[in-house]
Amino acid sequence: MLSEVRMTSRVGYPMYVCALLAAAAVLSGTAAAQGRGALVEAIGTTEPDPLPPGGPAPRMADGRPDLSGVWFSGVIGRPSAWSRTRREPLEEEPVPVRPEVKAKLEGMTRTEIQLLSPGVNCLPLGVPGVFVSNPHPFQIITIPGMFVQLIEVSNDWRLVYTDKRPHPEYPDPLFYGNSSAWWEGDTLVIDSIAIDERTWVMNNGWYHSDQLRIVERIRRPSRNYLEYQFTAEDPKVLTRPWTSGWRKYSLSQEADQLFENFCTNNQNPEQFKKLLDLEVDRKR
């Protein structure tokens, strides 16, 4: 049985296990949808009702939407394994991976893939992982000219200026990349390059190269909802750019702050290595 990272968490263990199981699927759709069956088995069949829109989105002093708040994945505004499911599947095309990348991933076992996972190795999730592969809540603080994201996983953070400042000519690789951001109407656009290769694009084994570029789009259509989309461009891994569907996040109905959360006493790599040894023995 897999050992969970020891940390204070609002999210139940069944949800964590389901995320690991879903990660075994290699770029064949969204991990959340693939894990739905196991989630239903773990938590029952009664799905909570989604939050109402809650009125118009608040706005900052400059008239832009205020994205501030504590946000949970899904539509119920609180921690639950159901928060990782959706009433309708995301409308996404298959990820156009290069043939050699597809062959490499298909040749790896579930355990081999998980041993490379940022979450298993207590590494930052990076972008867009902090949104699309994050089972924990996060907090956003926006003021004119600045976007701040506080991440419950490992008490991490991210700061992006929204004045469309140019990327440096030779940026150092960072877990959250080098970002330039600006507003297009009511949508915040964040363009990130130089993203550390130890991160994944999504929690399904989708690794990336040093050429990855992520363009995120974040909007708040109403008080209780945030919507997120990203486009990935990586000529070493993808045959063409790929754009995700719009994912929904709901405003916390329970708390206005995050928990202290550190990845400590991490036994996951050791447990996965034991599983890998068992897989090798079975092949003999």
Which letter, b or e, does each residue of 38-48 get, where b requires 16 or more Cβ atoms within 10 Å of its Cβ? bbbeebeeeee
Beta bridge partners of 215: 191, 231
Per domain, the residue ranges of the chain are 13-258
Helices (runs of H) and strands (runs of E) counted in the chain: 7, 10
The model carries a pTM of 0.79
pLDDT digits (tens, 9 = 90+) for 158-213: 999 999 999 999 999 999 999 999 999 999 999 999 999 999 999 889 999 999 99
pLDDT score for 110? 82
Q: How far is CA 226 from the centre of its chain?
A: 14
Kindly state the DSSP code that residue 158 receives in the 8-state scheme. Answer: E
Cα–Cα dist 22/16, whole Å: 10
Cα–Cα dist 49/46, whole Å: 9
Per-residue pLDDT of the chain (284 residues; tens, 9 = 90+): 222 222 334 443 333 334 444 443 434 444 334 443 443 444 445 678 899 999 999 999 999 999 999 999 989 888 765 555 555 578 899 999 999 999 999 998 888 888 888 888 888 999 999 999 988 899 999 999 999 999 987 788 999 999 999 999 999 999 999 999 999 999 999 999 999 999 999 988 999 999 999 999 999 999 999 999 999 999 999 999 999 999 999 999 877 778 887 777 656 666 666 666 666 666 66
Q: What end-to-end distance do the CA atoms of the chain give, in Å?
A: 22
pLDDT digits (tens, 9 = 90+) for 129-157: 999 998 889 999 999 999 999 998 778 89
pLDDT score for 57? 98
Judge whether 167 and 176 are in contact, CB under 8 Å: no
